[in-house]
Amino acid sequence: MNIRYFAWVREKVGIEEETIELPSNVKTVSDLIAHLKDLDDYHASAFEEEDAIRVALDQEHVEPDTELGAAREVAFFPPMTGG
Amino acid sequence: MPVTPKVKVQTEDFDAGAESGLLTSGRKDVGALVSFTGLCRDEAGTLSALELEHYPGMAEGELTRIAQQAIARWPLTGLTVIHRHGKIPPGDNIVLVIAASSHRRAAFEAADFLMDYLKTRAPFWKKEHLAEGGTGTWVDAKDGDDKDAARWT
């Protein structure tokens, strides 16, 4: 699955995007966050304040309990500050 | 027939007057036009620019979804949304929303709704560039923005 990061989440992870193989026990967005946190200190730091992170699945907003299903792209980012 | 919104995400500036003209020229059914322009401010001289990061694809997609909601909710004759990204100095334009309708209430409310939803749902993030040099912090989302958006539900 392709994973993209934006704004301070991107800066903390240290990369804009990456592709990872999902372990079979990763079903939901929350599962994926738990998996990413265990990868290394950079991911752990980016997801430290988990409640502050917003998620999009195939470029649409979703909640953390959403199943990843057949989605190709997931994005993690802070609350938006456009306008 | 419902109108098709004009949605653009771009680095270049926009001309609010010219965009307004496009929604009214040659028409006799437009009785009200509300235009909102958001600009970069220098926060009492401390900022040299704002850097706007966006999520290409989703930014256009989400702005279009919000615009479609406004069109479904108010009887609009036209709707334009333009959001810039990249480095924007104080005094320059960031965002433009223009709602046109036969009557003022729909135009006022649609423009207000668009801005409230755009601020909380469109994937853009502002980073400060400081007048004294260097980059500052990412701008924090405001609780008030969520409350403003909740007015419409």
| CATH number, domain containing residue B46 | 3.90.1170.40
Q: Do B141 and A79 touch (CB under 8 A)?
A: yes
- Residue B81 included in any domain: yes
How confident is the model over A19-74, as pLDDT tens digits?
999 999 999 999 999 999 999 999 999 999 999 999 999 999 999 999 999 999 99
For chain B, give the percent of residues with pLDDT over 70: 99
- Residue B71 included in any domain: yes
- In this prediction, residue B16 carries a pLDDT of 98
Tokens 């929303």 -> residue:
B97
CA angle A28, B139, B8 (to 5 degrees): 75
Q: Where are the domains of chain A?
A: 2-77
Fold for the domain defined by A2-77: Ubiquitin-like (UB roll) (3.10.20)
- Residue B1 included in any domain: no
Report the residue from B54, B58, B138 with minimal CB separation from A56.
B58
Of residues B96, B120, B119, the one with CA closest to residue B33: B96
Report chain B's mean pLDDT, rounded to a whole number: 96
Residues 10-39 of chain B with CB under 8 A from chain A are 38
- Which residues of A fall within a CB distance of 8 Å from B58? 56, 59-60, 75
Tokens 């001309």 -> residue:
B15
Q: Is the pLDDT assigned to residue B114 strictly greater than 80?
A: yes
- Residue B18 included in any domain: yes
Q: Do B118 and A83 touch (CB under 8 A)?
A: yes
State yes or no: ipTM above 0.90: yes
How confident is the model over B54-109, as pLDDT tens digits?
999 999 999 999 999 999 999 999 999 999 999 999 999 999 999 999 999 999 99
